[in-house]
Amino acid sequence: MMRTRPLKVALLGCGVVGSEVARIMTTHADDLAARIGAPVELAGVAVRRPDKVRGGVPAELITTDATALVKRGDIDVVVEVIGGIEPARTLITTAFEHGASVVSANKALLAQDGASLYAAAQQHGQDLYYEAAVAGAIPLIRPLRESLAGDKINRVMGIVNGTTNFILDKMDTSGAGYSEALDEATALGYAEADPTADVEGFDAAAKAAILAGIAFHTRVRLDDVYREGMTEVTAADFASAKQMGCTIKLLAICERAAHGGSVTARVHPAMIPLSHPLASVREAYNAVFVEAEAAGQLMFYGPGAGGSPTASAVLGDVVAVCRNRLNEATGPGESAYTQLPVSSMGEVVTRYHISLDVADKPGVLAQVATVFAEHGVSIDTVRQQGKDGEASLVVVTHRAPDAALSGTVEALRKLDTVRGVASIMRVEGE
């Protein structure tokens, strides 16, 4: 039997995502009620600019006092889609204190302060759900923390930012330079006026922290994630990648060390073989590749951003939280029992593609090879082209620690025969 008293939802933020959440709640009210077992009522919408026209949202629901809204006491679920650290953090903890569960899409806050939010939710017996914080509409958080809870996850690698994937895809398929591809992404609405958070990897790093924490049952903060942007990727890098049968993606990689005693989380551009499933992810789509001991290899693919896809993830969480409230239960909280340390980037072992500008004369290759050997980095392949006294030397290594590679590059820069290091890129997915 369906309960007649509605569950009340407060919405913090009514921008691209928030307005879609409000629209879906209104247009699919009957379906949502049937799925939950009780009606769901939009009880208030907190915004900064009350005069802005918001189609489908009754004017009487609009308020600029978000604090008063979450303190009402009759609110069952607070949906936070305003982003940023403050006032979002204070509003979420206030919601818990006044008896409401929270659904959030706030990746930055969860990556920076997820542990304290979990603690506040547990203290007050409330839910904290955040499927929309990573990869938009793609079901990812719930599979990791529920469906795969009985398995051991060893690696999570994926494309978690649509803007950067669109740019790199255009550079790959059309031969466009970075600036040209960024301009197209901006014109189509994929890139913000200030794209720094995307192209410098901040957005992906926040998502990597969240994914690593869930996958490895340990606390991983944003500061633990190595971050490298993709603004230095060039057409020449793509040409080299194609010669290797690869393409280039900005990847978020979270992995358990081979010995099992630590984890790493990193974001950086990388060459991946065209045979890898992530290589075929085009335009602004996201995809995440999960490697687990029992389940094997799994891939989650779909639109990673946008109003409707993100609202879909938000409403999925709202349904789950409302069901929990009807059953007087809560869903999974923080799982950080392993307390594994997060290793530095220097301990990460991977392959590298290094392009050097060198003098075109006898003995250069031998000098370069000696430097690699002295630092314990084994060379897989070498390609050399020269003309008019100048040459390019492309070295692809076997797997080696990042620290060893860094030392190698420093030593190479000191050679008289090396004019410069044109590019350094990791090779993943093999």
Q: Which of the following is catalytic: 8, 107, 170, 207?
A: 207
- Catalytic site includes residue 207: yes
Residue of 196, 41, 203 lying closest to 106 (CA atoms): 203
**Residue 344: strand, helix, or coil:** coil
Residue tagged 């890098």 (tokens): 237
**Cα 257 to Cα 311: distance, rounded to the nearest angstrom:** 35
The DSSP element (H or E) to which 256 belongs, if any, is strand 246-256
Within 13 A of 307's CA, how many CA atoms are on the CB side? 13
Phi first, then psi: give them for residue 380, nearest 5 degrees.
-90, -55
Q: Write out the DSSP string of 259-286.
A: TSS-EEEEEEEEEEETTSGGGG--TTEE
CA distances from 289 to 29, 153, 159, 292 (A): 34, 11, 9, 10
d(CA 379, CA 383): 11
Q: For residue 203, which phi and psi values (nearest 5 degrees)?
A: -60, -50
Instruction: Give the burial string for 168-203 (b: 16+ CB within 10 Å, else e).
Output: bbbbbeeebebeebbebbeeeebbeeebebbbbbbb
Return d(Cα 39, Cα 69) in angstroms, integer: 20
Q: What are phi and psi of 355, to 5 degrees?
A: -110, 120
Burial of 294 (0-12, 13-18, 19+ CB in 10 A): exposed
Q: How many residues does the chain have?
A: 430
Q: How far apart are CA 182 and CA 186, in angstroms?
A: 6
Residues recognised as catalytic: 207
